[in-house]
A and B are shown apart, each in its own frame.
Chain A
Amino acid sequence: MNPFVLTWSRKRVLKRGRLTSCLILIALVMAPLVCALIFSDSMMAGITSKYIYLSDGHLQVNWNGGRDLSDFDPEQYGSMLYSCDEVTGGYALMYSATGTTNIMVKGVGEGYFNSRRMEQVTITGAETDVASTSNIKGIMISRSTAEELKVGIGDRVALMIVPDDVDKVLRPVLCRIDGIFWSGYDQLDSLLCFIDLDYAGTLYAAPGSTCLELLVTPEYMEKLDDVVEALGSGYDITRWDQHNVSVYENFVTSRQMILIILLLVVVVAAFYTASVAQQMIQDDMQDIAITKLIGASDSLVRRSAFLSVYTVTFIGMLLGIGLGLIIGLNLGPILTWLSSMGLKSLSFYLLDFDITVPWLQILLISASLLVISYVSIQISLVKTRRITPIRLFTEL
């Protein structure tokens, strides 16, 4: 690179307040963008995990009128499957003395809450299995359901079982609250309750009410279709996203919309750099004319001005990404603190989630900023052509 270009740019970057404000603005734009990307991506990944581990498993094996579910041998697929649990369930209305709520009753066996599932929930007041200890059957409800029904451990609730067979009649069942769980995602928690698998079998006896929930090993999490293919025919096998189509599609649409909105913000920021370049030319008109007088070509002047603004844009972008990462990586504690400070609306969101950094999307918005800035700055610098040395004596 021409040594004069470097010297000129260094002087401009260090001395022009306008460039400093450009740097700050780009950093302040990029930081929340990166933060928003981390937040949305991490939260969606977190919610996905809650659905997978508490609601549906990675895959569900359903009876389709062919082979019996008891014939399914998970040992055959040892490297693919982490766990296989029989689940029986259906829908019910839950009553307490003060409230009512719709709920999905899941009958689960001993060992359902394995270590992977326990990473997703906090359970108080019960062993990890929900076996009954007396004639009144035990039940584990969520913290949000307990709050809604104003009940606690040891209290009783009634379940009005919605029958899965048209020949059955609607009947109430009394249960005792043995445990309360909290996954951090109230929207899902409020839909679920857990009871003993055998007892659930008496409430929901239709073959279609029972399924196998499969969790796959980490190396197959992104290859669920391969697992489905390996499991073969004879069963109706569905992925978690097929089971929760609307949730999954909402995630996909939300991610796309967030990315589009962030890209639009980046476009505006990139065009701002072009206006900074224009202002710089206006401010430095005399210096540009002097530089041309002593032999700088127009392209050299443009390269010098471009490098000044682009360097600032680049540094601002890096600072913004760094700041965004620092805030983004501490989002969990920040959101929990905000929620505890009284921002109730946050309780509808997942507050306890693992942070994932969406590097690809950060790279995409960074590349967009750099490309659009490059083009818009170059266009705005075309004006330097009009600054000729003779203007030093006629106009400036």
Chain B
Amino acid sequence: MHPIELVSITKRFRAAEKGSGEITILQDLDLVIEQGKSTAIIGRSGSGKSTLLHIAGGLDSPSEGRVICSGTDFATLDDRKRSELRNRHIGFIFQANLLLEDFTALENIMAPALINGVRAKDCRDRAVELLERLGLADRMNHIPGKLSGGEKQRVAICRALMNRPEVILADEPTGALDEENASDVENLLLDLVREEGRSLLLVTHNQEFAYKCDNVYLLRNRNLTLEKEA
């Protein structure tokens, strides 16, 4: 059983202009995210990388095809079960870190566990451990507004790993960071994913970062081409 498997995925959007019909972004695309492996998808802006990642994470639905997460087809689930599956099996990291502004760094990291029904005192140790590993122990009680861009992104990485998900989906996680911070975050993310034995699906236009992954695909002409295989 693979953490995520995309089968014959097609995604069409209604065109912005009236009467222009539909635009096909992804066409009959297959992708398997293997257990413990990191996979990067590269491609030009507007090629559909983010759309593919949204579909893989159950945030968006394909026009055709199936998304199977840990053996379960997303399309067969209601909102509660789909949310539960996302909470337990997938961690998300985005370019905009998407942290809860009223929550402290520690609370943001604990949030997925709290949603999963784990009491704060039972998940606090794990959250603190993650913060310490990413060098943010002294920032745990700061709200996101008091953190730098790099720190926020590290908090987002911690949050993605909190529930020990099978797979991490990362969309341009270093896109908003300066070179030094970006390099730090890249290495931290890849190290953590390896140490924790998680799978990674990375979407980026940063070729250097992408080629640090086990597998690299190029998204072009609505489909994937394997560029690198471990």
Binding site for B on A (CB under 8 A): 2-4, 7, 11-12, 15, 287, 290-300, 388-390, 392-393
Contacts and interface: CB of A to CB of B under 8 A. Distances in A.
Q: Which one of A11, A291, A299, A393 has the greatest number of beta carbons of chain B within 10 Å?
A: A393
Contacts of B84: 295, 297
Interface in B74-99: 79-80, 83-84, 86-88, 92, 98-99
A11 B60 contact: no
Contact of A300 (B86, B112, B115): B115
Interface in B147-163: 159, 163
Given A287-B102, A292-B83, A393 B50 contact: yes
28 contacts: A2-B114, A2-B117, A3-B114, A3-B117, A3-B119, A4-B111, A4-B114, A4-B115, A7-B103, A7-B114, A11-B102, A12-B102, A287-B101, A287-B102, A290-B100, A293-B59, A293-B98, A294-B86, A294-B92, A294-B115, A295-B83, A295-B87, A295-B116, A296-B87, A297-B83, A298-B80, A390-B59, A390-B60
Contacts of A2: 114-115, 117
Interface in B137-179: 159, 163
A15 B145 CA distance: 15
A298 B81 CA distance: 11
B98 A290 contact: yes
A294 B101 contact: no
Contacts of B87: 294-296
A393 B54 contact: yes
B198 to A, nearest CB: 16
A389 B55 CA distance: 12
Nearest to A289: B98
Contacts of A388: 59
Interface in B110-145: 111-112, 114-120
A310 to B, nearest CB: 19
B107 interface: yes
Nearest to B121: A3
Q: Is the interface of A mostly helix, strand, loop or mixed?
A: helix
Given A287-B101, A290-B98, A297 B114 contact: no
Those 5 A-B pairs whose CB atoms lie nearest each other, nearest first:
A295-B87, A4-B114, A297-B83, A297-B80, A3-B114
A3 B127 CA distance: 15
A283 to B, nearest CB: 11
Contact of B88 (A7, A295, A300): A295
A26 B111 CA distance: 31
Q: Which one of B59, B79, B112 has the greatest number of beta carbons of chain A within 10 Å?
A: B59
Nearest to A284: B102
A76 to B, nearest CB: 71
Contact of B115 (A291, A390, A392): A291
B115 A296 contact: yes
Nearest to A15: B102
Contacts of B111: 4, 7, 291, 294
B38 to A, nearest CB: 21
Nearest to B117: A2
A292 B100 CA distance: 12
Contacts of A293: 59, 86, 92, 98
Given A290-B100, A294-B112, 9 more contacts: A3-B114, A11-B102, A291-B111, A291-B115, A293-B86, A295-B116, A390-B54, A392-B98, A393-B54
A3 B83 contact: no
Q: Which one of A4, A290, A295, A390 has the greatest number of beta carbons of chain B within 10 Å?
A: A295
